[in-house]
Structure 1
């Protein structure tokens, strides 16, 4: 696999739909599945080798569409990559059957992942404060509301299963970089706000979300 094709490491610049246009109608989706099928292992592949045997698929999708595509199999729960949002794909041990059937699943999973990125872009636009993030006069309510809503939607989409908080923190980091905060500082703000308050297999209750969102807002405002 191409070095660092790991969904957890993706930045907003690498997944932003505006920077990486993508369209796939029915004919193009069918053609993509036909191109993917020869890269896939057969149903009889040794189970422990199936995950690594998907690397050529990821390489192919990334080369064609960009690094954002490496999240195509970031499935819910303990799949190929822990704690994602893709529901149509389970994991290599269960989703890999015949090459033709699996190729259709790969395309469906890629589309589901892309839909999620486009949904996030719309949410970011709706939640962004009307003044630059570096302006400390921005009402912290804007940041608190954004954090609450993003945590809630990520918990829902990941079903708050194994490792869900990793993507939640990533989404919060993406939101800050979307609003002009530098990547490293965005990560520091999110780590400070979350601070181990989220855990696997349990959605945070309102008290925890409120605490994280308040801390998030205070830290963002302070960095200005």
Structure 2
């Protein structure tokens, strides 16, 4: 289901300021209990890895919002590919007994939420002051932001598999955070990155510097 596909999430979908979420130990245990009957058997998970967890994702999205769709976006070639969640591997390996798997789902959800909250803090710290008209100083802010965000996403994804998909998404999210609409954000990011990232490899410093400069220029063209 495309509406539950993590790659399709926008900043409006995942912004922690718009979607409250608190999870203490009691709530985590309660949620795990609700997840148990939705889990596939280990055999089904191995045979149908791409769809076996849809009931879990649908339930979580209905309860908390679409932002949860990245709960199983694990590092490397997992259920989604090229994500940041480390506690969950993939349906074919992480699904065992319902009693053991359900708490792992909750832990993965909390890890994903922690990443979104971390990004929100980074966005606030990296945003140009007061979103003023583009100047040489603002150009520096946008370029710095791109460099920092590419670096942190490459680190969190371990630059494994198709990591750059989420990296480009995070750059679009940052632009949206700063009031740039999705269509313009897409053009800016595609113009800056443009196939310059590779699978299973983090970009070197010259590559990041060059794309950060293009990113800043792209923002400048619309401001």
TM-score with structure 1 setting the length: 0.96
Match of 1:136 in 2: 134
Indicate conservation of the 8 Å contact 2:157/2:163, yes or no.
Answer: yes
Deviation at 1:50, TM superposition (A): 3.9
CA-based RMSD of the aligned residues comes to 1.1
1:83-102 pair list within 5 angstroms: 83-102=82-101
Check conservation: 1:41, 1:50, Cα contact below 8 A.
no
Q: What stretches of structure 2 of length at least 5 have no aligned partner?
A: none
Q: 2: distance between equivalents of 1:66 and 1:106?
A: 16
Mapping of residues 47-196 of structure 1, within 5 Å: 47-132=46-131, 135-137=133-135, 139-196=138-195
Retained in 1: the 8 A contact 2:45–2:91?
Answer: no
Could you tell me how far apart the structure 2 residues matched to 1:11 and 1:107 are?
22
Per-residue Cα deviation, 1:47-101 (whole angstroms, up to 9, x for no partner): 2224312100000000000000011000001000011000000001100000111
Please give the alpha-carbon distance, in whole angstroms, between the structure 2 residues aligned to 1:139 and 1:126: 14
Distance in 1 (CA, whole Å) between partners of 2:49 and 2:138 is 50
Aligned to 1:221: 220
Shift of 1:46: 6.0
Secondary structure at the counterpart of residue 23 of structure 1: coil
Does the 8 Å contact 1:33/1:103 carry over to 2? yes
Instruction: Report whether the alignment pairs 1:40 with 2:36.
Output: no
Counterpart-to-counterpart distance in 2, 1:52 and 1:176 = 32
Contact 1:51 1:93 in 2 (8 A): no
| Counterpart Cα distance in 2 of 1:30 and 1:149 | 36
The 1:47–1:187 alpha-carbon spacing in structure 2 relative to 1, beyond 3 Å, is same
Q: Partner residue of 2:204?
A: 205
Distance in 2 of aligned mates of 1:129 and 1:188: 20
Q: Over residues 11-63 of structure 1, what are the superposed CA-to-partner deviations in whole Å (9 max), with x where a residue is unaligned?
A: 00000000000000000000000000010012333622243121000000000
Provide the TM-score with structure 2 as the length reference. 0.97
The residue matched to 1:223 in structure 2 has which SS?
Answer: coil
Distance 1:144 1:45 in 2: 46
CA distance in 2, matches of 1:5, 1:23: 21
Structure 1: state its 5+ residue gaps: none
Could you tell me whether the CA contact under 8 Å between 1:85 and 1:158 is conserved in 2? Answer: yes
Equivalent residues, number: 222
